[in-house]
Structure 1
Amino acid sequence: MSVLFAEQSLMETVFDDFSGDAAARWDFVADTVMGGVSSGHIEVVTSGPSKALRLCGDVSTRNNGGFVQARRRFSARWSAEATGVRLSVIGNGARYFVFLKTPHLSRVWHSYRAQFVAGDGWQAVDIPFSMFAPSHMGMPAMVAPSDVNSMAIVAYGDDYDADVTVREIRVY
């Protein structure tokens, strides 16, 4: 579940507006790394006066697969007082996820996950950190936002055509 926002926080900071060399900051990853058959790509596109990151693909659960993602690893720390992430998105009406990772996770496939729907008009979506759930049993509860070192926009878990564009990501 995601919540649309109505006002800006004073602590809000831009995490990525896809300016500069955004293509060098974001990687495309599909389930083919584990034998799946999903396919797709990411591209930096122009959205009005801004740049945006578009994730497209064919998500297939065949052969134990089921994801395509745009992932960014980073070393800069988010504020420990931050309460969530805000996305400016447009899409095809499908369900997407944000996956967060920390260096404390014991398996590469572990993450903290929250979902949102990207409709056919630009919308701002707030996802409080309290809505992120561990992907697997036995994982610790979500850690401090300042521990997050990877974020991904993910099409996951069903057979469908993914098409989501993110114009901006903020941490609030």
Structure 2
Amino acid sequence: MSKLETTWEFVADTVMGGISSGQISDQVVGGRSARRLTGKVSLENNGGFIQMASDLKRDSSGLDANHWGGIQIDVFGNDETYDLRLRTDDLDRPWQSFRAPFWAPAYWTTMRFPFSVFVPHKTDKVLNPAKLRRIGIVAVGRVFQADIAVSDVRLF
């Protein structure tokens, strides 16, 4: 296993005129230090998401994960469904990604996402683990209160 260093930042649909709102913060959740995304997802004004995202390398180059099987995250949620999204150097539009939905229970759990489960969105590219650039945890697609914490992200 290889731990990934993440510097999470908040992104919302307000960049496109939406009105979803939220924040990320460092907190102790269920006894663990974590980065926590909270907020309200709204579909008004063509909106519909909030997320926390991190570049995988500080120098903006791609991360070569070709010798790994996938991403493993430790999450604590609020019994809602979220997306784990990956971006690679092969994608050039902000709406393109590789997506894997997951349910985040209201207790700490470790989730594994083999690279093979990620589905391309608005691209005909295939996920190339040798060119990983960015990871995101996204609350998306329906009106709900988001609350999800991540304590660790690793390659497995």
RMSD of the alignment, in Å?
1.6
Return the alpha-carbon distance in structure 2 between the equivalents of residues 164 and 119 of structure 1. 9
TM-score (norm 1): 0.83
TM-score (norm 2): 0.91
Aligned residues: 152
Are the counterparts in 2 of residues 69 and 154 from structure 1 also a CA contact under 8 Å?
Answer: yes
Deviations 1:13-69 (CA, angstroms, capped at 9, x unpaired): 1114xxxxx6xx211000000011100000011246642110001001111111100
Number of the residue aligned with 1:31 = 13
Q: How does 1:96-107 map to 2 (within 5 A)?
A: 96-107=82-93
Give 1:159 shift.
0.7
Bigger mean CA deviation after superposition, 120-129 or 40-49 = 40-49
Q: How does 1:38-77 map to 2 (within 5 A)?
A: 38-47=20-29, 50-75=32-57, 77=63
| 1:91 and 2:77 aligned | yes
Identity of paired residues, percent? 38
Query: Which amino acid in the other structure matches residue 168 of structure 1?
Result: D
Give the strand-richer structure, 1 or 2: 2
Return the alpha-carbon distance in structure 2 between the equivalents of residues 79 and 142 of structure 1. 11
Are the counterparts in 1 of residues 13 and 48 from structure 2 also a CA contact under 8 Å?
Answer: yes
Q: 1:149 aligns to what SS in structure 2? A: strand
